[in-house]
Structure 1
Amino acid sequence: MSTTAIGINAAIAVGAYFMTVRMIPRLRDMFIKANLAGRDLCKKDKPQIPESYGVLIGCVFLISMFLFIPIPFAFDEAAATDALTGGKPATFPHDKFVELIAALLSICCMIFLGFADDVLDLRWRHKLLLPTIATLPLLMVYYVNYNSTTVMMPNFARGVFGTSVNIGVLYYIFMGKLAVFCTNAINILAGINGLEVGQSLIIAASVTVFNFIELALGHQVESHQFSLHFMLPFLATSLALWKFNRYPSQVFVGDTYCYFAGMTFAVVGILGHFSKTLLLFFLPQILNFLYSTPQLFHFVPCPRHRLPKYDAKTDLLHISTTEFRLNELGKLGRLMVTLLRSMRLISWQELEDGRVITNNFTLINFVLFIFGPVHERVITQMLMGFQIICTLLALFIRYPLANYFYATET
């Protein structure tokens, strides 16, 4: 696939940006009329904001990609060479075509399922199951086209495991769980203006930079071109959404956008053959997941919403809290909170009646616990800054330390 295809893809992405910028404000009343709206609880006047705008962004992205479908095959360098030299008729790359269609099918499924979650408010077990099902087209294409389940070992582990290990079906389980993690990791690090879109933009920009670096080095050229074909329209549509979702938000993105973004990242990570590197760009989301584990798996009481508390007098955000009695927790729950308390990673207040009050276990509340009450715009900037720092760390691990951690990319 030629660089011409990337140029056309970038042009389509620019068009998608301007289309999205025009559509977002014009459809505001339509979303509110359909009762797809909510109150911004972190504002003094608690304005009504249209939500579930992720479905609009996902639709514009899909339209862009549908228009792009014939382009990479029309500009296939091998086909063009055959045609010009009068050699054998060019063979259509059916494997690449199916790869592209399967990727779009998985993304389309997650947009649909995300919108269903926004409308029907699905339970957590469904949020874990549905991304796994939506990943099946990807796994089937990977099985048919590649079926490589060999994992290269880090240099320091080769004395024990050898140069590589074939993990078989475990590799497919890993890729399925990667999709589940990506779709839900963005969703649980959310709740303040601009954070969902902001972190997605930084991850997408990180993947794009990584793709260009790999192309410059001549590594897995087709795989990284495939990734760019998805990342450029995603960046364009998300940037348009960011314009209206950043503080003070004019629209909310809903679970639809989180699912759409997560599956798009999973698609390029799996079919672009850089799933481990992709996880490096998700370091803040991984930390947030680990920190949230006691509540996510209900070892500690978890309220339905763990958003920070808003103080209308100071216009600042404070930690939100949960309360429990230690003797009501299971052994694992007591061990977790004791460990977090000893490491000073959570607030801790014991009441006379034996109840304990701690902050909710999210990265947002952790930042508020460390730095104290801050303005909503400020905490978004802090978390996005942390995301950028983690990207730089990921690139540092991927390149200067690559000879130590990974001999080659898998």
Structure 2
Amino acid sequence: MVKIATPKIIKLHLEHGLSRPDAHKPGNPLVAHSGGVALFIGFVSGLILFMLFYPLDASSLAKLVGVALSAGIGFAIGYIDDKKILGGLTKTILSVFTFVPLAVIGFLYPKAIEWGRPVVPIIGRMRMTIIYWLLLPVSVAGTANVVNMLDVLNGIVPGTSIVIFTTLAIISLLKGDTLLFVLTVVSLAVLLAYYPFNAYPARIFNGDSGSLFLGALLGAIAVAFHLEFVVLVLLLPHILNGLFVLVSFRGFREHREIKVRPVLVENGILRSNPDPKAPLTLTRLILHFSGPLTEKEVAEMYIWLEVVAAFLAFLSYLLTPVG
């Protein structure tokens, strides 16, 4: 579905002006925007196909719908931003609504999502009752936004997401959780089909519709299946970059609002901006220590960083007590 739909979406978006200049390439060529449409269509199609051939009980169906709706709200907020350009703070506040479907499902079907204290490696179940409930409303929103902040170069978000969902698919097999396996495998299949279109040189940008969709989906899975710590470790590169961005930009800012760019581009080569006023990002830090690199090389470094995070996340799952 994604391989068929994406070329049509690219053509349609270019015809209707839904495109953006690729600032990291000579001549700043226009590239189709809002690739999240293809990701969302593929994900929903995969879930519908699964439900047609594999009937679910009411509790499992409720959980599936809750996760899908949370991801869908992330997609909708991102798509509005792709077309209307929301402010950074506005977009962040709106993303809190991605948790609403999970809250409703948890209230109507208590057995579908058994809220409780999280389990962490070695320590076991933690006594975080008050903090846990305070953090829940922003849990999915936080994940969505850190994934969105890392969407700076061709292929980074779908590339790192492939590693993340592969890790979660393996964990679902070890847990024996069919529903988690379906969600992760459908997501993985969609990403594998979509990745060639966004990898260097990108024919379509993810847009906020893509990054917020994937981030909200990942956050919803973490909360609904009690994999909070595992997903936290999986997102270490994203969180580190997010912290750099928030500190450097002194809050939530859009890329277009930044006057001094963290990365300089010359003839397709990226290098760290030596200007002390340039904000610190993970990309700038990588280039500072590695020296000038091509966009493709930087994206590959991000994926290898995600592989390391995935190894640590998998290890943390193995060290987590059961029950």
Match of 1:388, SS? helix
Question: For residue 167 of structure 1, what is the aligned residue in structure 2?
Answer: 129
**Shift, 1:274, TM fit:** 1.3
The alignment status of 1:227 with 2:206, answered yes or no, reads no
Question: For residue 38 of structure 2, what is the aligned residue in structure 1?
Answer: 56
Question: For residue 264 of structure 2, what is the aligned residue in structure 1?
Answer: 309
Select which of 94, 103, 107 maps to 1:139.
103
Deviations 1:150-203 (A, max 9, x none): 3457666x9xxxx652614x3233232221121111111122111121111111
Question: For residue 47 of structure 1, what is the aligned residue in structure 2?
Answer: 29
Higher relative contact order (CA 8 A, sep 6+): 2
Decide whether the 8 Å contact of 2:2 with 2:41 is kept in 1. no
The alignment status of 1:260 with 2:222, answered yes or no, reads no
Counterpart amino acid of 2:44? L
Counterpart amino acid of 2:142? F
The alignment status of 1:199 with 2:199, answered yes or no, reads no
Distance (whole Å) between structure 1 residues aligned to residue 49 and residue 250 of structure 2: 42
Distance (whole Å) between structure 2 residues aligned to residue 155 and residue 214 of structure 1: 18
Distance (whole Å) between structure 1 residues aligned to residue 87 and residue 182 of structure 2: 33
Counterpart amino acid of 2:129? I
The alignment status of 1:363 with 2:300, answered yes or no, reads no
Distance (whole Å) between structure 2 residues aligned to residue 117 and residue 299 of structure 1: 14
Select which of 160, 178, 182 maps to 2:143.
182
Comparing 126-135 with 113-122, which one deviates more in the overlay? 126-135
Provide the identity percentage: 21
- Aligned residue runs from structure 1 range 210-289, under 5 A: 210-215=171-176, 224-289=177-242
Counterpart amino acid of 2:102? L
Deviations 1:26-80 (A, max 9, x none): 3322101211011112111322111111112212211221232344326xxxxxx
Select which of 50, 67, 78 maps to 1:114.
78
Unaligned runs of 5+ in 2: none
Distance (whole Å) between structure 1 residues aligned to residue 188 and residue 118 of structure 2: 30
Deviations 1:224-260 (A, max 9, x none): 3221221112111111211111111111111101011
Tell me: CA distance 1:164–1:200, structure 2 relative to 1, closer, same or farther (3 Å).
closer
Tell me: CA distance 1:310–1:396, structure 2 relative to 1, closer, same or farther (3 Å).
same
Displaced runs of 4+ in structure 1, greater than 6 A? Answer: none
Decide whether the 8 Å contact of 1:319 with 1:360 is kept in 2. no
Select which of 96, 104, 119 maps to 2:60.
96
Tell me: CA distance 1:226–1:299, structure 2 relative to 1, closer, same or farther (3 Å).
closer
RMSD of aligned residue pairs (Cα, Å):
2.5
Distance (whole Å) between structure 1 residues aligned to residue 82 and residue 126 of structure 2: 43
Distance (whole Å) between structure 1 residues aligned to residue 263 and residue 150 of structure 2: 12
Distance (whole Å) between structure 2 residues aligned to residue 252 and residue 108 of structure 1: 18
**Shift, 1:296, TM fit:** 4.1
**Higher Cα radius of gyration:** 1
Distance (whole Å) between structure 2 residues aligned to residue 71 and residue 294 of structure 1: 48
Tell me: CA distance 1:166–1:243, structure 2 relative to 1, closer, same or farther (3 Å).
closer
Decide whether the 8 Å contact of 1:151 with 1:167 is kept in 2. no
**Shift, 1:129, TM fit:** 1.9
Decide whether the 8 Å contact of 1:132 with 1:179 is kept in 2. yes
Tell me: CA distance 1:136–1:47, structure 2 relative to 1, closer, same or farther (3 Å).
same
Comparing 390-399 with 242-251, which one deviates more in the overlay? 390-399
Match of 2:257, SS? coil
Distance (whole Å) between structure 1 residues aligned to residue 120 and residue 33 of structure 2: 45
Deviations 1:316-339 (A, max 9, x none): 10124xxxxxxxxxxxxxxxxxxx
Tell me: CA distance 1:358–1:369, structure 2 relative to 1, closer, same or farther (3 Å).
farther
Unaligned runs of 5+ in 1: 1-18, 75-92, 216-223, 321-346, 350-356
Distance (whole Å) between structure 2 residues aligned to residue 51 and residue 204 of structure 1: 24
Counterpart amino acid of 1:261? L
Distance (whole Å) between structure 2 residues aligned to residue 173 and residue 27 of structure 1: 40
Counterpart amino acid of 1:186? V
Tell me: CA distance 1:164–1:281, structure 2 relative to 1, closer, same or farther (3 Å).
closer
Decide whether the 8 Å contact of 1:230 with 1:264 is kept in 2. no
Question: For residue 297 of structure 1, what is the aligned residue in structure 2?
Answer: 250
Q: When the two structures are aligned, how many residues end up with a matched partner?
A: 317
Decide whether the 8 Å contact of 1:206 with 1:391 is kept in 2. yes
Comparing 29-38 with 390-399, which one deviates more in the overlay? 390-399
**Shift, 1:299, TM fit:** 11
Question: For residue 391 of structure 1, what is the aligned residue in structure 2?
Answer: 310
Tell me: CA distance 1:207–1:151, structure 2 relative to 1, closer, same or farther (3 Å).
closer
The alignment status of 1:150 with 2:117, answered yes or no, reads yes
Distance (whole Å) between structure 2 residues aligned to residue 52 and residue 374 of structure 1: 26
Match of 1:310, SS? strand
**Shift, 1:394, TM fit:** 2.0
